Amino acid sequence: MNVPVSALLERKGHGVFSVTPQVTVSQAVAEMNQHRVGAMLVLESGRLVGIFTERDVLRRIVGPGLDPHQVLVKDVMTTRVTTISPDATIDNAMALFTEERFRHLPVMDGERLIGTISIGDVTRWISDHHRMEAEHLKNYIAGGLAT
């Protein structure tokens, strides 16, 4: 799909859920649960320094049996974060989700963080697009038959 990521952000909003690296895992999980999201961006003085997702809770905390009240996010976050430009396409985002096997992408306009998209946002966008296209085609065919 050739639509830019910026169009999805316009619809979805530019909100970003974030924590600082010094919070505990249990504080980050509380934030995720409160906002019903699966990932927290980790920001230090406004700069993106990591990402921490529900998968990290399973693999890096629950799996090895660490205490989420003791461990800090900075010690279990992913620090090499892949980001996407608002000018990239929805197809580009989907390719990254598939190739990199993660479900979240911060959107960076140069140095500026302007939103986050998830694989859920993208699949919803694609299915809405297909539904609208099918509607158009149905109307077009019905219109053609009426004449």
Only one of the segments 26-34, 61-69, 75-83, 86-94 lies at the binding site for ligand AMP (rule: CB under 6 A); that segment is 75-83
Amino acid identity for residue 89 in this structure: T
Run of H or E residues at 105: strand 104-109
Facing residues of 50 across strands?
A: 42
6, 26, 78, 85: residue in contact with ligand AMP (rule CB under 6 A): 78
104, 113, 115, 122: residue in contact with ligand AMP (rule CB under 6 A): 104
Residue 145 CB, shortest distance to ligand AMP, in Å, is 46
3-state DSSP helix/strand/coil % of the chain, to nearest 5: 50, 25, 30
Quick one: 103 exposed, middle or buried, by C-beta within 10 A (0-12, 13-18, 19+)?
A: middle
Q: Is 56 in the site for ligand AMP (CB under 6 A)?
A: yes
Please identify, using beta-carbon distances, which residue of 17 and 102 lies nearer to ligand AMP. Answer: 102
25, 39, 57, 122: residue in contact with ligand AMP (rule CB under 6 A): 39
Length of the chain, please? 147
Binding site for ligand AMP (CB under 6 A): 38-39, 51, 53-56, 78, 81-82, 102-105
